């Protein structure tokens, strides 16, 4: 495994890999790798000749109340995990390498962002889209892998790729879950023992909601109310949102139609958990 820190060297390596006939699978990360990242890496290994991950904590996607400096970093641990997972290259640039001067252009994401978690994180997805535009141009992947646990981010990346005709295939990988169904997250360690015991109810409530729609329920407000009631009855969490939208457009629906997402966010004492299910009708 090779660690590359300069943009020029990474671009040269990508060009050389393509000249040799390699297909590049790419997993963007902000480091502090966990099982979700390793699942994406494993998927990338299946259908590509070389796997590249980037480790870059992107300052552009942190809001005024989000502490960029406090974001966890452990490059030695990440290198060990990546190497053991079979990664071929880590692109690990400094902030000054990625943004040596103030940008003269700006990507402004206008759709798919003012709902779900994006509603309370103004400008977040502008930063995500900007750094991905740079990273796609630097790494030149054939396929890029993203987890559906953050389905809104996947939707935004889908729009970015389509809008700018970026020659990369977006591969959305299903949410990694515990045996009881709880979506795996670094935040789960902040749950109390009692909160952890009931947290799987979030996913169960979504599953029941999907089944209600598939069974013919057309009143989406009623379905959302049933999810809210189930979470209130079976957990101590405070609901941030329960929403149903078209997917990946993330447009409100009057009744079930086509590909959809049902998503929720719930605040516990020291952790805010998100989960979702995408499905088609």
| Two structure tokens written together for 7 | 């943009």
Residue 34 is labelled as binding a ligand: yes
Residue 153 is labelled as binding a ligand: yes
Residue 61 is labelled as binding a ligand: yes
Residue 187 is labelled as binding a ligand: yes
Q: What count of other Cβ atoms lies within 10 Å of the Cβ of residue 58?
A: 21
Residue 206 is labelled as binding a ligand: no
* Residues facing 254 on adjacent strands: none
Place of tokens 């050389």: 16
> Which CA distances in Å does 140 have to 13, 135, 169, 254?
10, 8, 11, 40
Residue 149 is labelled as binding a ligand: yes
Residue 198 is labelled as binding a ligand: no
37 is annotated as an active-site residue: yes
C-alpha span between 278 and 210 (Å, rounded): 9
Residue 185 is labelled as binding a ligand: yes
C-alpha span between 62 and 157 (Å, rounded): 17
Residue 86 is labelled as binding a ligand: no
Q: Residues with Cβ < 8 Å from 102, sequence gap 6 or more?
A: none
Residue 36 is labelled as binding a ligand: yes
Task: Single out the residue of 195, 192, 174 nearest to residue 183, CA to CA.
Answer: 174
245's enclosing H/E stretch is strand 238-246
Residue 150 is labelled as binding a ligand: yes
Residue 33 is labelled as binding a ligand: yes
Residue 118 is labelled as binding a ligand: no
Residue 37 is labelled as binding a ligand: yes
Question: Which listed residue (18, 37, 124, 232) is catalytic?
Answer: 37
Q: Peptide bond preceding 248: is omega within 30 degrees of 0, i.e. cis? A: yes
What radius of gyration, in Å, describes the C-alpha atoms of the chain? 20
In what side-by-side order are the strands of the sheet with 2-4? 2-4, 89-91, 50-55, 24-29, 143-147, 169-173
- Residues annotated as binding site for ATP? 30-37, 147-150, 176, 184-187
- Residues annotated as binding site? 30-37, 61, 147-150, 153, 176, 184-187
- Residues annotated as binding site for (R)-pantoate? 61, 153
- Residues annotated as binding site for beta-alanine? 61
Catalytic residue set = 37
């Amino acid at each position: 495994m090779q660690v590359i820190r300069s943009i020029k060297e990474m671009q040269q390596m990508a060009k050389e890999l393509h000249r040799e006939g390699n297909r590049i699978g790419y997993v963007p990360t902000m480091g502090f790798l966990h099982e979700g990242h390793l699942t994406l890496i494993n998927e990338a290994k299946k259908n590509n000749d070389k796997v590249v991950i980037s480790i870059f904590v992107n300052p552009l996607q942190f809001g005024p109340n989000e502490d960029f400096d406090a974001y966890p970093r452990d490059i030695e641990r990440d290198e060990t995990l990546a190497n053991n997972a079979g990664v071929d290259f880590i692109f690990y640039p400094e902030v000054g390498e990625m943004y040596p001067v103030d940008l003269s252009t700006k990507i402004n994401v206008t759709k798919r962002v003012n709902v779900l978690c994006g509603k309370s994180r103004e400008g977040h997805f502008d930063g995500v889209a900007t750094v991905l535009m740079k990273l796609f141009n630097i790494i030149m992947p054939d396929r890029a892998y993203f987890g559906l646990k953050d389905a809104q981010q996947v939707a935004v990346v889908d729009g970015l790729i389509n809008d700018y005709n970026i020659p990369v295939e977006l591969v959305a990988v299903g949410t990694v879950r515990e045996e009881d169904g709880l979506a795996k997250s670094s935040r789960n360690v902040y749950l109390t023992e009692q909160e952890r015991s009931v947290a799987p109810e979030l996913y169960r409530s979504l599953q029941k909601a999907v089944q209600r729609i598939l069974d013919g329920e057309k009143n989406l407000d009623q379905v959302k109310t049933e999810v809210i009631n189930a979470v209130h009855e079976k957990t101590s969490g405070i609901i941030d949102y329960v929403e149903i939208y078209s997917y990946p457009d993330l447009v409100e629906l009057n009744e079930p139609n086509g590909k959809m997402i049902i998503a929720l966010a719930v605040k516990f004492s020291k952790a805010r958990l998100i989960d979702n299910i995408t499905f088609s009708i």
